[in-house]
Structure 1
């Protein structure tokens, strides 16, 4: 609003809302603080004070804005502290679970997930520090812009006194003419009343038969003086009105120049709010925060996918409780100092790689399949050389070696099938 068009305060944003707030029957939800300058012309009387009150009123808006941002930041910090307490509570609880059912890589995976809130808390705390820097920056700007008043509590804009002096100086000439105009209007009113009294006295004397010529002449003389006085005042009133219009134009021109300077200062305040809002939003969810958040969950997903091994857990459990596994080579168990199972059995890890175990299982399956295929071929050969109605029963003598092989292979096949299902 830097043009030279006269500013009517009724055209400002908020006029419609203010009227709605003060309409009859308005509820508490419709309440707005009363604006005493609504609908008044900025260039009349001392309505320029609206611009000064806008300056000083910005402090309350700024403190509300700071309080809102600070409360958000404090809530986020409290949330981070609750995350840490939550993670510690469940970490302790999972560590104290029964080692009979909670063990090895699965337990580690559970603990890794349970500790996620603690990582999120550290990330959120770092984010709160960024937000606090935005708040502190804006608070410093507000403290520099608004200074303490000398004789009353509160703060005012550091340039309020400067603009108040400019407006008062510009308005002084107009104010002087306005005072003269008001004085003349008062005198005119009194002169009219005096003339009316004189005219009434003349009329009474004229209707009285006992009135002498001398009395009537004196009454007419007084009436003429009162009329002359009134006409003189009216003449001065006309001249003063013309002077007032000239002074008003001069004041309007100066007031617009001063007001444009006020607009520049006010624009600075509004721009600071805009910049702070953008900085605050960016601090709430920065690309850095987003990348670190994604990294936490991607790293955890990869870790669980590669390190949690149910088959390894089952072997670990079986060996820990002294169950011999005849399908695999003897497992070499080593002491594990990890704090995940400090209160449970000593964990052991096999040195044999998983790929070796899978290869062994594949070879074992292949051997069984080939053996079954040989039996089918032999049965097919017998069926082709024997008539359909003749059934020949072949018995193969079972040697001690076959018995030994039968006893060793059959349990292995069954146990291997169970492990493959797991």
Structure 2
């Protein structure tokens, strides 16, 4: 099966996987993608390129590479970084996403080349949104339908296959490849639920809860609150049935994040603290349990800060640092814990302390594009709170180069970026940010 080939390639996806998965996730044929690139050339006032579907086919099958001529345009078309498309030799600063005019050309192509009065207005709105976001609305709608209808999987899968596919979904999340991740979630969730219901083993229940967890994280990232609440609740239910302390803690953490995004930080704090207490009581006998406990403490601290519980927030992030020290036998906490301290101080309204806490953090300390991008967006929020638009813009550009979806898909970060473009157009870095976001 093609799915198996995609999931067994490991973290370094080959060009065939990267190119094909992004095109398929957007629902585009090869001719449509060619026409979208042509639209970008036209919007930039350039001569029509010599690109054709046969060339795309060759690249998708690992024969050659788009190179510097077509690579930047393909990045703009998808709103993706070169590394996300498997183009390791193309540097991120050489491209920006499609302008509104080019996005309109993409919409025209993807709708079948006809934007006359007979065009379906829902289809047009969906495609316009797809041109500006990492995840097209038709994929989100498909996932919403799957959560409501619980469709049967394409075929029965064993626990081992679910593990492989879940690992692939997690890699896509870590690489900030949200479109292919969301595209694959309906079948992953239905397959995992089918396996859990057929076998009823604790391992299959833990896997199902973990599948719902990655769905919750992705949906939270892009502001799909209603859907993320559904996936979080289901994860909690299946994790509880599994009896696994780590699974229950992880699902409670995801639910706490959803509750916080709903504007209920106090109940989020209670949910995560309760789960952290249960996990601690289980004994923290394994590295996995210790790592999960540190993550729980970090999330508890951030939830407490959002609830304006300053003393509790600082106590919890301090405890996370102490446990991290002990677990790693290191002189300092892990960079991820330190990044949480940045977030805690930002949530408490202390931008200067947040920036001081993150002064030594560097992108290379974080293992994935998503985490690297998150480092820069967390620092950008602190700079913005402190009233420093230039530093904010540069931090957002750094986040964009690591993981474009961290800037354009997270609602709170996108609002900061849009405010910069609107109110500080002459500040250094804003011009580049404007091009990246597709503003005129």
Sort the TM-score into its range (normalised by shorter chain): under 0.3
Could you state the TM-score of these two structures normalised by the residue count of structure 1?
A: 0.17
Q: Which has the higher contact order (CA 8 A, sep 6+)?
A: 1
TM-score normalised to structure 2 length:
0.16
Larger-gyration structure (1/2): 1
